[in-house]
Amino acid sequence: MIPILRSLKKNLVKVAIATFLVWSVPNGLDGSSNLVQAQIDNHVSQVFVEANQRMVKVYGASAGRVEGYATGFLVSDDGLVITTQGVFLDGNRVRILTSDGVEHAASVIRRDRERQLALLKIDVENASYFSLADGDVGDKGDWIIAISNAFKVADKEEPLSATLGVISLRTAMEARLNRRDVAYKGELVLIDPITSNPGAAGGAIVTLQGKLVGMIGKIINSSDTNTRLNYAVPTSILKEFVANEVAPSKSVTSKQSPVELGIRLFTHGGRSGPAYIDRVRRGTPAQRAGLKPDDLVISIGGEKIGTVKEYEQVISGLTVGQEVIIVVKRGIDLIRQPITPVEKKP
Amino acid sequence: MRWFNRLWLSTMWLICGSLSAQETHPGDPSALSRQDSLQAMLLTSKAVRQAIGSIQPSLVTIESFGGVSVVQGRIGGIRKQGEGNTTGIIVSPEGHIVTSTFNFIQQPPVITVITSDGTRHVAEMLGRDDTRKICMLKINANREFPKPDLVPLDQLKIGQWAISLGVGYGDVSPAVSVGIISATNRVGGRAIQTDANISPANYGGPLLDIEGRLLGICVPLNPQSQSIGAGVEWYDSGIGFAIPLAGAEELLSSLKQGEQVFPAFLGILAMPNPDGKGVWIEQVVQGSPADQAGILREDVIIEIDGVEVRDMMQLRQILNRLQAGMEIELTLIPDETQEPKTLKLTLDRPPPPKGEPAPLEVPKIR
């Protein structure tokens, strides 16, 4: 049912554009609405046709329920192809179909588990390809076309599926989204066309000027919302990967001495309960900061503390002697205090 | 500001139109080049960003602390409520905030709200409307908040732009989705329907028109069910709902006073009538409005408030339009006399759910 609804959405968006144009165009041009629609269609279609020449269908091994296919695109005229990392690359044969329907045997050059990217190579010459820009391509609210072979609907030389939508948000991973959800640091481009479908990963997101915004990422569930994310890995990260620059490593967890604030939390409700202070030990940073039993810890160092478990996680990331701001709720007041963690006594 | 936006948009159009008329197709103003149509689309993106900017002072991030789900297992179609922050909209200068009841399924003991200037406030929960899945929060800040502009109901048109916003993905800046209004009168006239993405990432957030005025509050709804998480199974599907606040002044002021609105409960277990029209009553819940009005097992309901009840589906639709506390006129054919008779009864609120509500699974895509 869901895929049907999603394709319905696509068509409605087209209607929307037409409607907007009809309303916006001054009176004298009203009669031209059909023409305007045709022009828009024509524009999107030209961008698509150009982009589709650079797209490929990737087929590999399927394992159990995991699909053995994905989308990819060319990033050099001699046949470098970017796609998503996945088990479909594990078999001894990976096949790539270029937009002309010709099948090529692909060799896997590089795979990156952290960024979930793979670089493949096929033997072609003078191929049409996407050049990878350094900076950000596309802004929040900009129209984009998502091009992919979701559900493997296109076969042989058939063009891939295009979906129209907008960029929802460019968000920095280290600051936002739950760290468990996506492995890499850096930026993520959230989009509003539905791309969280099998086979869509490795597809291209392009602007109306035909510029590459990023690569459609594989299906992940956001633990913030418990829904599937529709997103792209931005072009700048693809460029680093192709250039074989070292992935910015995940937060370096150098061996730190454990810290404490001198707070004992109320844990009778288990670790998923709110972080109410049960006891403040004497002579500790917490006492110096004036914290009291029954205060509710709201945030530490800008990180929200929703539960006892989150408190423990955030505390384990603090550094001895490095002052942070703690916010607690007392009655209906919010109290902000600087607090300096000390080394945990055994 | 608004008039300026509009003027600016239409001016751009005039320029586009006249340029193409002069340069590409002299004498034929109807011919627009590919470049013009591209310009038009690029301008929409600009308008979307302006709309977001104009609502931003009213947009808030809601944080919940603690709370254990009152619903075991799945809520609607998703496994459980996410752990992230949720969205709300300030609707009064004094700091009243409308958001979705979906954001509080876990009944958090403490709720805080971060306003657009980055300050955090403790929020108090006032009234809630479980038929619309919206609720009212209140914060005490020593300042006045801007009141968002509402789109009057008579200006809603199918096909007009609809922009949904929410901070559920965690960033301070809201995530945006653009679509159109798909229908203006849904779920018993309570909601408008849109194809912009509506999901836990923006439940409680605003649905805007292209000028940044408030069309409604994004909520999960399902016309066939009033259970607590119903409608989540349709997240990001192209079928989304928003509750318009225009013309709802009475409801909003009762929510500000802490009043609650519950779905309608009649108290019958019904089956299709094997002998024709109407619904056949299999069971009457003890103490329910139906019981108190003297409705008996094996009676057949044929009319509610003058509307013919042809089948089960229609009964459900009629009840979904109503809410607890409303008085209705119900016509039935008693099993004993077979003489149609009309009763008056007052609808009650449903009894608290025992265990979990029937889960609505998302179809699995392989």
**In which band, very low, low, confident or very high, does the pLDDT at B322 lie, cut at 50, 70 and 90?**
confident
* A63: containing domain: 43-252
Tell me if B254 sits within 8 A of B127, measured CB to CB.
yes
User: Same structural domain for residues A184 and A323?
Assistant: no
Q: In the prediction, which pLDDT does A146 show?
A: 97
Residue A192 contacts B, CB cutoff 8 Å: yes
**Domain annotation covers residue A33:** no
Tokens of B51: 């709309």
Q: In the prediction, which pLDDT does B36 show?
A: 78
Residue pLDDT, tens place only, B338-362 = 899 999 999 999 887 665 444 333 3
User: Same structural domain for residues A83 and A162?
Assistant: yes
User: Same structural domain for residues A86 and A212?
Assistant: yes
Residue pLDDT, tens place only, A323-340 = 999 999 998 889 999 999
**In which band, very low, low, confident or very high, does the pLDDT at A182 lie, cut at 50, 70 and 90?**
low
Q: End-to-end distance of chain A based on CA atoms, in angstroms?
A: 58
Tokens 């010709």 correspond to A102
Q: In the prediction, which pLDDT does A176 show?
A: 46
> What is the identity of the amino acid at A93?
R
Averaged pLDDT, A296-304: 89
User: Same structural domain for residues A111 and A138?
Assistant: yes
User: Same structural domain for residues A77 and A208?
Assistant: yes
Q: State yes or no: pLDDT of B9 exceeds 80.
A: no
Of residues B23 and A147, more confidence is placed in: A147
**Domain annotation covers residue A242:** yes
**How open is the CA angle A143-A146-A148, to the nearest 5 degrees?**
170
Query: Which residues have a Cβ under 8 Å from the Cβ of A275 and sit 6 or more positions away?
Result: A265, A296, A297, A305, A306, A307, A308, A310, A311, B65, B66
Residue pLDDT, tens place only, A47-90 = 999 999 999 999 999 888 888 999 999 999 999 999 999 989 99
**Domain annotation covers residue A2:** no
**How open is the CA angle B82-B83-B88, to the nearest 5 degrees?**
80
Tell me if A328 sits within 8 A of A311, measured CB to CB.
no
Q: Is the ipTM of this complex over 0.90?
A: no
Q: State yes or no: pLDDT of B186 exceeds 60.
A: yes
Averaged pLDDT, A265-292: 88
* Predicted structure pTM score: 0.82
Of residues A221 and B11, more confidence is placed in: A221
User: Same structural domain for residues A112 and A146?
Assistant: yes
Q: In the prediction, which pLDDT does A2 show?
A: 47
C-alpha A123: how far from its chain's center?
31
Q: In the prediction, which pLDDT does A272 show?
A: 75
From A208, A227, A252, the end of a domain falls on A252
Interface A–B counts its CB contacts (< 8 A) at: 238
User: What whole-number distance in Å separates Cα of residue A112 and Cα of residue A62?
Assistant: 19
Between positions 40 and 59 of A, the ones with CB within 8 A of B are 40, 42-43, 46
Which residues of chain B have a CB within 8 Å of the CB of A23?
160
Of residues B12 and B116, more confidence is placed in: B116
Q: In the prediction, which pLDDT does B31 show?
A: 63
Averaged pLDDT, B166-189: 92
Contact A225 B169 (CB under 8 A): yes
Q: How many domains does chain A have?
A: 2
Q: SS3 of B167, please? A: coil
Task: Give long-range contacts, CB 8 A cutoff, 24+ apart: A28-32.
Answer: A28/B17, A28/B29, A29/B17, A29/B29, A29/B30, A29/B32, A31/B30, A32/B29, A32/B30, A32/B31, A32/B32
User: Same structural domain for residues A172 and A274?
Assistant: no
Signed CA dihedral, B20, B24, B27, B29: sign only? negative
CATH assignment of the domain containing A64: 2.40.10.120
User: Same structural domain for residues A269 and A238?
Assistant: no
User: Same structural domain for residues A53 and A104?
Assistant: yes
SS3 percent helix, strand, coil of chain A, rounded to 5, is 20, 30, 45
**Domain annotation covers residue A241:** yes
User: Same structural domain for residues A162 and A246?
Assistant: yes
User: Same structural domain for residues A217 and A278?
Assistant: no
Chain A: nearest CA to B328, how far in angstroms?
A: 36
Q: Provide the 10 A C-beta neighbour count for residue A331.
A: 9
CATH assignment of the domain containing A328: 2.30.42.10
Q: In the prediction, which pLDDT does A33 show?
A: 56
From A252, A270, A297, the end of a domain falls on A252
Q: In the prediction, which pLDDT does B70 show?
A: 47
From A252, A273, A293, the end of a domain falls on A252
User: What whole-number distance in Å separates Cα of residue B351 and Cα of residue B302?
Assistant: 25
User: What whole-number distance in Å separates Cα of residue B167 and Cα of residue A192?
Assistant: 14
User: Same structural domain for residues A276 and A152?
Assistant: no
**Domain annotation covers residue A24:** no
